[in-house]
Amino acid sequence: MPDYAVLFVCTGNICRSPTAHGVLAQRLEHAGLATRVRVDSAGTHGYHRGDPPDERSQAHAAQRGYDLSALRARQVSMEDFELYDLILAMDSGHLELLVQRCPDTHRHKLQRFTAWCSQHHGRDVPDPYYGGARDFEHVLDLVEDGCAGLLQHIRRQLAA
């Protein structure tokens, strides 16, 4: 059983949240923390349930050394609010939906992913789905920045 659990959430769980899932999972592996931290991703909607991440997300992630191929889309469940210590919304709309669905006792777990960024200061990770290569690269830049801050937080939580 892991000591800490993080869930990333976007709309359909095929672009932003699986990218963050893959990046954090690899960083935890390299830090020797993979067995102590559970990482997952989900969508606010079940549009792509069971599908792999968008091919463009996979391709751009692979160019940076991240393998997203084993991930499959799923929708956020009520159980997730209890199971995860930190639930990170990729944009303001996701956070709003999560707040509406989340039981009061677990709302403290909900945060905007960009709160962990130190180099990028926007509130949202923009959806690259209808964009081009530059948009997918921008998502990766934001995700790598946020995951660096998140990894520091996780280390502190595990040391406490």
Catalytic residues: 10, 16, 127
Separation of alpha carbons 159 and 64, rounded Å: 29
| CA distance between the termini of the chain | 17
* Contact by Cβ (8 Å): 84, 77: no
For 8, list phi and psi in degrees, rounded to 5: -100, 140
Contact (Cβ atoms closer than 8 angstroms) between residue 22 and residue 56: no
Residue 6 pairs with which residues in a beta bridge? 39, 86
3-class DSSP assignment, residue 40: strand
